[in-house]
Amino acid sequence: PGTGKPPRRVLLKLSGEVFGGGAVGVDPDVVKSIAAQIAEVVLNKEAEVAVVVGGGNFFRGAELQHHGMDRARGDYMGMLGTVMNCLALQDFLEHVGVDTRVQTAITMGQVAEPYIPRRAARHLDKGRVVIFGAGAGMPYFTTDTVAAQRALEIDCDRLLMGKNGVDGVYEADPRKDPSARKYRSITYTEVLRQRLNVADPAAFSLCMDNQLPIVVFGLSEPNGIARAIRGERIGTLVAS
């Protein structure tokens, strides 16, 4: 697949795990470094950036269910966890002079705006970073799926999946097979044919059905987030 021109508007998906720096809660140093990279490109007006933040550093509904909790209630706890990550990111972005808005799929007027897609698009037009929290507001969904949906609805031209511990799509799991090679680019159909793990299946099929290119890249690569937002060749590009 080709890379085309530099992206105008992107959606950056950050897993909750990265926010915690491997522990439960938020690691301020990590969030600060993420914010600095986003600020670098947004303040230069190189691209408009929307962010979907996961919540795995707090709770995952499926794990709570293994410990006997009701699945849907656990999922709501997971969604609320994402909002804490959103507020942390908002705070560090504002420290470095970036205007932000948090929009949540579960209404909580004191902390965030509700998710209003056209309003989100307006914020982005004005150079604000919009951070989407509380997933889809629905149990049994994942933040990957929401990232794909938001990217489509607010007209992003790329979905950037920042990963912890892996820096792209490999022909086999590089943690199990160190000789596995990384793809620089790959088509959606090849990903399916080889059953490669790019995003969860619902997220992947939304992207494929609507030809939204995905960039899978490593969050530990130096300046990886800034480079991915700019459209530099980093990680793996998945497209048609």
Task: With beta carbons less than 8 A apart as the criterion, state whether 187 and 213 touch.
Answer: no
Q: How many CB atoms lie within 10 A of CB 206?
A: 20
- Cβ–Cβ under 8 Å, residues 12 and 49: yes
61 contacts ligand UDP (rule: CB under 6 A): yes
Residue 138 binds to ligand UDP (criterion: CB under 6 A): yes
- Residue 170 marked in a binding site: yes
Tell me if 20 contacts ligand UDP by CB under 6 A.
no
Among 1, 25, 114, 139, binds ligand UDP (CB under 6 A): 139
- Tell whether residue 150 is a contact of ligand UDP (CB under 6 A): no
Tokens linked to 174: 């590089």
31 sits in the region (left: phi over 0; alpha: psi -120 to 50; else beta) called alpha
Helix (H) or strand (E) holding 95: helix 71-95
Tell me: does residue 17 bind ligand UDP (CB under 6 A). Answer: yes
- Of 13 and 185, the one with the shorter C-beta distance to ligand UDP is 13
Q: Which stretch binds ligand UDP (CB under 6 A): 10-18, 27-35, 92-100, 220-228?
A: 10-18
Strands (DSSP E) contained in the chain are 9-14, 48-53, 100-104, 113-114, 129-133, 158-163, 185-187, 214-218, 236-239
In one-letter notation, the amino acid at residue 222 is P
Q: Which residues are annotated as a binding site?
A: 13-16, 55-56, 60, 75, 136-143, 164, 170, 173
Q: Which residues are annotated as a binding site for ATP?
A: 13-16, 56, 60, 164, 170, 173
Residues that bind ligand UDP (CB under 6 A): 15-17, 54-56, 60-61, 74-75, 78-79, 82, 135-136, 138-139, 141-143, 146
